[in-house]
Structure 1
Amino acid sequence: MDINELIAGLESDLKEIASLLEKCERQRVRDVLTREQKEIEKELAQKRQQKLQQAKKDSADKTDTLKGYAVKINNYGWDQSDKFVKIYITLKGVHTIPAENVETSFTERSFNLLVKDLDGKNHQMAINNLLYPIIVAESSRKIKTDMVLVMCKKQSTKKWDCLTQVEKQSKEKDQPNMNENTDPCKGLMNVLKKIYTDGDDEMKRTINKAWVESQENKAKADDFDL
């Protein structure tokens, strides 16, 4: 029998004893019922305290579990205005939890979002190495239906090409080196090689066909020169 059933049973016993006391005429019987009433009241108080302690323990266990586990948020969208960089994070039901469960912290080059106890889980997103500095005191978050909007206040109206320095470096790395000392033909070949490597089967067939045709045309031109 669980504690709720025990408490309900003791409360019913007290009601019945109270009813008997109202009808009781003999003092000796009344004294017996009164003693039993006090014992039941004492036991009932203990069970209620036990229930309260168990509820606190369950709450603490849940909090500890949430503190130790967080789902990483990877999917987001972003855009910008002259004043803000805006990051859109979709989280179903986020508008139904207490607003204080949605926490954000900012530094000049980063922000962290923590959404506590949404569907029994924590959700976290940390973006470091923002492309340009932001104004911490004027950055904030807004809670919308199924969405959190993080607003990073720009220090300048400069347009951001991407969200982080890492993304910028990755884009620069992928771009072919076309400085003045680079052979243009070699640079073009590098671009074609990358397209071929990253492309699907149809793209590879197209490039192979174009390569064969170019070689045939080159051979014909050589024959003509002879």
Structure 2
Amino acid sequence: MSEPLMVNIELDYSEIKNILDNHASRESTKRLLRTELSRLEALKKSFTNKATKTIPTEAELIPLSNFAWDQTDKFVKIYLSLDDVKEPFEDHSIKLIFPDESSFRIVLGRYKFTLTKLHEKINTQESYFKRTKSKIVIYLKKKREANWSNIQYSKPTTVYDEKDKEDPDADPSTALMSLMKKMYQEGDDEMKRTIAKSWYEAQHKKEPEIDLP
């Protein structure tokens, strides 16, 4: 029940009570007015009970995990389907919370959705949400206008090849030649020209000859 409706109930109650106390004379009219007053009192009580209902604690909130996202130059948009929310909730119970510039949480009645370690920092002051009939859309304002490759930050991983492991007993010059051969085989044209030039200069300095692959 909305607050404007509660105000109307209070006004109706006061007006009907005034008529009952000061103007109604016929018993049948008084009975009708008392019945209406009882109905309005029940509505007032129902509204008060809902308004004072205990707010769920963090531990009682039900986590949501399904979401979709996309982005523009300025915003990242998070989509939450209301099909996953099994209990109705009022707009005033929606809370968008930012613990810091890299995470957020939104509370939807007895449900919550959280994302931490966002790909980049966001402007919390200019971030907001919208509710439609079928979903909640959260607009996260990018602090820097750049494309996000993912919604959350992840450290770049380095692939370690066991073949590249250095042999502590190997001849340093042999290891260097092996490395240069590998760089030549895997490099682009510019890299190959640079390495070929180095080999040429090394040969003319009478250093150990290296066979090109």
Greater helix fraction, Structure 1 or Structure 2: 1
* TM-score (norm: length of structure 1): 0.46
* TM-score (norm: length of structure 2): 0.48
